[in-house]
Amino acid sequence: MAERLVVIGGDAGGMAAASQARRRNPDLDIVALEKGNWTSYAACGIPYFVGGDVSDLDDLVARTPQEFRDHQRIDVRMQHEVRSIDLQAGKVEVHDRARDRTINLSFDQLHIATGARPMRPDIGGIDLPKVMGVQTLDDAEAIVARAHMTDCRHVTVVGGGYIGLEMAEAFCRWGAEVTLIEATSQVMRTLDSDIAAKVASAIRGFGVDVRTDLPVTGFEDGVVHTTEGEHHADLVVLGMGVTPNADLAADAGLDLGPRGSILVDRRQRTSVDGVWAAGDCASSFHLLTQEPVHIALGTVANKQGRVAGVNIGGGYATFPGVVGTAITKICALEISRTGLTEHEAVEAGFEYDVATLDTSTIAHYMPEAEPMTIKMLAERGSGRVLGAQIIGGRGAGKRIDTVAMALHAGLDTQQVIDLDLSYAPPFSGVWDPVQMVARRLLRGD
């Protein structure tokens, strides 16, 4: 009888592992269990579907269940929700939603890729139908259906992270009046406050009513209660971030890491032999702090899934770690970050120098030039680059990749200045902004 791999979760962290395992072991019996209706989809595209830039949810799907069945002999079972894991017996209990039955499925190896779920604080009314999270294509379909049902003239977004801001913009494009409520003093807490203030200014200019320092105290049908009064809402979207969906793993006795994620090593092995994990449910390793960390990004999920699959299939691969690189676009503003912010550097015990530069995306005399701001941190004494944040017009955001490369290579500011980067006026000034801010750091301006 062939060895069986059971994969829990049909998105990036799960199907990347299943695909790699199949390539390396053609005899492996692979069963993938997904509780929703789609596999291998781009969740990051959901706000663009809501806003109308993407017309069909299927456009966000990289590979369908049938394609996995036909081309890779992976037994993908949709509408199958795993209820529990028995590691000692080597079985999972599964609810087949379509047939409303419970089955038990044995495994020789198990890969957990259950992703993350939107944070839902324990406040009154949080489970009302009009209070909706955004994580899966099923969520996207439900939100758009609810928006059509209610005519969606007033939308309240609770939480000012990436998803919250992107959904606020999406519903503005929809034509709704949008209020964004953030309990803390700034939107985008993954940025320093000076950079985040520019983000808030941009989305206010787009028409979103941004309220910070305003905790939500409860929900009723059509009403959001806060510490400073009530807000009418036909629809409430939760954009408060996500938490690892690791309850199955925890109940099975697997070791947990940061924020309750499944603790894995560099090969994506959990604390139990033959059990693997990848994606938003799993921990990562931060190359700067040298500590486990939880970062829920599609890039990380795909890479971790690939590493797990190679190892499951009998090969050898390691996931080297992350530096927290992320990018988004809010209105016309590109926003990106990598490495450590000032707050994160202090928490990690680094002493650092910091410089901020206001410049232009390309040569300043070109008609397409737009403003951009870049902020960079370097370790005091060594000059090693610790991180950067960028905000600006078209062409600003992807410059963060130069800094991410510098972080992976352990470059100091002088080495960044010495990089042989490309130059032509339609793309950059003679000194790239990343090098300009590194020069300012080196001089101590």
pTM of the model: 0.95
If you average pLDDT over residues 9-37, what whole number do you get?
A: 97
> pLDDT grade, residue 71 (50/70/90)?
very high
CA 281 to chain centre: 11
| Higher pLDDT, residue 332 or 263 | 263
Give the residues across from 390 on adjacent strands.
336, 374
Task: Give catalytic residues, as residue numbers.
Answer: 44
> pLDDT grade, residue 342 (50/70/90)?
very high
Residue among 232, 50, 219 at smallest CA distance from 129: 219
> pLDDT grade, residue 152 (50/70/90)?
confident
pLDDT at 85: 98
Six-digit token pair at 120? 């839902």
Distance CA 310, CA 333 (A): 39
Q: What are phi and psi of 96, to 5 degrees?
A: -85, 100
Task: Give the DSSP H/E element, type plus range, for residue 268.
Answer: none
DSSP structure class, residue 90: T
> pLDDT grade, residue 314 (50/70/90)?
very high
One-letter amino acid at 76 equals V
**Is 113 in contact with 13 (CB distance < 8 Å)?**
yes
If you average pLDDT over residues 147-163, what whole number do you get?
A: 89
> pLDDT grade, residue 59 (50/70/90)?
very high
Six-digit token pair at 401? 């990749």
- Radius of gyration from C-alpha coordinates of the chain: 23
Distance CA 417, CA 438 (A): 6
Domain boundaries, the chain: 4-42+59-115+242-312, 120-238, 333-443
- The superfamily (CATH) of domain 120-238 is FAD/NAD(P)-binding domain (3.50.50.60)
Distance CA 33, CA 295 (A): 24
One-letter amino acid at 337 equals R
80-95 confidence digits (pLDDT tens): 999 999 999 999 999 9
CA 365 to chain centre: 37
280-295 confidence digits (pLDDT tens): 999 999 999 999 999 9
Q: What is the DSSP string of 405-435?
A: HHHHHT-BHHHHHT------TTT--SS-HHH
**Is 300 in contact with 286 (CB distance < 8 Å)?**
no
> pLDDT grade, residue 26 (50/70/90)?
very high
If you average pLDDT over residues 350-371, what whole number do you get?
A: 96
pLDDT at 1: 73
181-229 confidence digits (pLDDT tens): 999 999 999 999 999 999 999 999 999 999 999 999 999 988 999 999 8
For residue 64, pLDDT over 80 is answered with yes
DSSP structure class, residue 136: S
**CATH code given to domain 333-443:** 3.30.390.30
DSSP structure class, residue 13: H
If you average pLDDT over residues 49-63, what whole number do you get?
A: 91
Percent of the chain at pLDDT > 70 equals 100
What Å distances lie between residue 277 and 85, 111, 241, CA to CA? 14, 5, 21
> pLDDT grade, residue 309 (50/70/90)?
very high
Distance CA 336, CA 375 (A): 11
For residue 102, pLDDT over 90 is answered with yes
Same fold, 120-238 and 333-443: no
pLDDT at 403: 98
Residue among 127, 147, 154, 158 at smallest CA distance from 225: 158
**CATH code given to domain 4-42+59-115+242-312:** 3.50.50.60
For residue 276, pLDDT over 90 is answered with yes
3-state secondary structure of 359: strand
For residue 120, pLDDT over 80 is answered with yes
**Is 192 in contact with 375 (CB distance < 8 Å)?**
yes
Distance CA 426, CA 361 (A): 9
